[in-house]
Amino acid sequence: MAYRETEKVRNRKAATREQVLQCALVLVAQSGFSGIQMTQLAKQAKLATGTLYRYFPSKESLFAEVFKRATEIEVARVERALQQTSGEAPDRIEEALRVFARRALKAPNLAWALIAEPVQAEVDQQRLEYRMRYARLFADAIQQGIDEGSLPLQRSMLSSTAMVGAIAEALIGPLAKVSREMMVPANQQQIIDDILRFCIHGILCSAERRQGAPL
Amino acid sequence: MAYRETEKVRNRKAATREQVLQCALVLVAQSGFSGIQMTQLAKQAKLATGTLYRYFPSKESLFAEVFKRATEIEVARVERALQQTSGEAPDRIEEALRVFARRALKAPNLAWALIAEPVQAEVDQQRLEYRMRYARLFADAIQQGIDEGSLPLQRSMLSSTAMVGAIAEALIGPLAKVSREMMVPANQQQIIDDILRFCIHGILCSAERRQGAPL
């Protein structure tokens, strides 16, 4: 008779796997993906290193899962801000971008790891997919803005990807370690305001640009 | 007496290394980094695979060099457009962005590989550094615009990184293979115009955004 896992065994395995993931999330939030050593992680999860590899066959597969977990949380926050903010589309989009930027600057190591840290191709693939998830959320909101007349006609997906690229890239500098140590809260607020202004103008101003002096 | 390379030997080695790089560049332009197989590359460069590894100790080191080579060309084109376009800063920035986008859509496989293809961390590190190179070029132009009064006061580096992120991310969709096959030149022109409008409004409109209807 073939060996079949009892429910108890399955549950225990799932719990251990979850524990490994939670430990890894803590490590990433401290010092990025490069800060995860499998031996150290095993120790923290109270497992032998060999046992760890039974749950995650490679560092890449673990990293991809950690990336997914951490990013799902951020995507959910952005989605909630888009849904629950009152007002027209530009207000909702601005608030969602603000939530994204604030959370990033509040947990800069984690944000750096998710947005910019050079990682293995498997994790980079996840990054591409999540960028698309964000873009689709914002594209829906832009489309609603077009429909309700609060935003000018535009290709919502193109504007949305531009916006997601803009906020992510603009945050990379401020998230870098050196700047972080020097950054006071008032500056953070100013940085967020500047990034948001860039993004919101990008989707809000669709008329031909040159009418004499800058607006 | 220790063996010392003659100049002739050195030159021959440099020429072979260059030949490998050129072959790799052709392969990347055809099908991205994932399209480079070391055995195939060796064959094309008329070398034994083992010999290839004498010139590039690892696939990662070869990829990083290929990435650098290809990107240097693009950076130089953007730099030239910024320097040689006549007019004020917004015109020069717009033209440089247009050069970047046009070249990307004209060589979509190469552009995809340089901008978005999931790659090893070593190559991703290069990508981060080149994004910074682009950002510094545009930041200088934005600062010139502020100084000459053609652009409103803003943090030039923050606006610049946002702009670089916006154009790169917005191009990813259009560069994807499926869209590419369906894209006619007129659509390409429209896509470029839309991306540029987003970017230029981002740096041009610095006033508070809400004044009734969208602009």
Tens-place pLDDT, residues A74-106 = 999 999 999 999 999 999 999 999 999 999 999
pLDDT beyond 70 at A215: no
Q: Compute mean pLDDT per 10 residues along chain B, 215 residues long, and list them.
A: 78 93 94 92 93 92 95 96 96 97 93 94 92 96 97 95 96 81 79 94 71 40
Tokens at A104, concatenated: 């990033």
Helix and strand counts by DSSP (H, E) for chain B? 10, 0
Which amino acid is present at B108?
A: P
The single-letter DSSP state of residue B46 is T
> What pLDDT is recorded for position B205?
81
CA angle, residues B175, B180, B182, in degrees to nearest 5: 150
Distance CA A63, CA A21 (A): 9
Assess contact for B120 and A120: CB atoms under 8 A: yes
User: Under an 8 A CB cutoff, do A209 and B90 touch?
Assistant: yes
Assess contact for B195 and B169: CB atoms under 8 A: no
Assess contact for A158 and B199: CB atoms under 8 A: no
Least Cα distance to B114 among B57, B172, B170 occurs for B172
With respect to CATH, is domain B66-204 assigned 3.40.50.2300?
Answer: no
Residue among A124, A162, A172 whose CB faces B119 most closely: A124
> What pLDDT is recorded for position A214?
41
- Which residue from A minimizes the CA distance to B212? A150
Domain residue ranges in chain B: 1-57, 66-204
> What pLDDT is recorded for position A184?
78
| CA distances for A66 relative to A60, A78, A145, B82, B201, angstroms | 10, 19, 34, 41, 37
CATH topology of domain A61-204: Tetracycline Repressor; domain 2 (1.10.357)
CATH topology of domain A1-57: Arc Repressor Mutant, subunit A (1.10.10)
User: Under an 8 A CB cutoff, do B164 and A169 touch?
Assistant: yes
Q: What end-to-end distance do the CA atoms of chain B give, in Å?
A: 78
For residues A49-67, average pLDDT: 93
Chain B interface disruption, residue of A169, A205, A206, most B CBs within 10 A:
A169
Distance CA B98, CA B163 (A): 12
Which amino acid is present at A112?
A: W
A128 in B contact zone (CB under 8 Å): yes
A188 in B contact zone (CB under 8 Å): no
- Which residue from A minimizes the CA distance to B198? A202
B191 in A contact zone (CB under 8 Å): yes
The single-letter DSSP state of residue B137 is H
> What pLDDT is recorded for position B4?
73
Q: Band the pLDDT of A210: cuts 50, 70, 90.
A: very low
- Work out the burial of residue B156: count CB atoms within 10 Å of its CB; fewer than 13 is exposed, 13-18 middle, 19 or more buried: buried
Residues sharing a CB contact under 8 Å with residue B113, sequence separation 6 or more, in sequence order: B28, B29, B32, B33, B70, B119
Chain A interface disruption, residue of B63, B131, B161, B204, most A CBs within 10 A:
B161
For A95-139, what is each residue's pLDDT tens digit?
A: 999 999 999 999 999 999 999 999 999 999 999 999 999 999 999
B158 in A contact zone (CB under 8 Å): yes
- Give the mean pLDDT of chain A: 90
Residues sharing a CB contact under 8 Å with residue A85, sequence separation 6 or more, in sequence order: A91, A92, A95, A96
Residue among B119, B158, B205 whose CB faces A191 most closely: B158
The residue length of chain A stands at 215
Determine what percent of chain B is predicted with pLDDT higher than 90. Answer: 79
Distance CA B74, CA B72 (A): 5
Contact residues, chain A, for B206 at CB < 8 Å: 197, 201, 214-215
Chain A interface disruption, residue of B119, B158, B164, B195, most A CBs within 10 A:
B158
What ipTM is given for this predicted complex?
Answer: 0.88
Assess contact for B76 and B70: CB atoms under 8 A: no
Which amino acid is present at A202?
A: G
- Work out the burial of residue A70: count CB atoms within 10 Å of its CB; fewer than 13 is exposed, 13-18 middle, 19 or more buried: buried
> What pLDDT is recorded for position B209?
45
Determine what percent of chain A is predicted with pLDDT higher than 90. Answer: 79
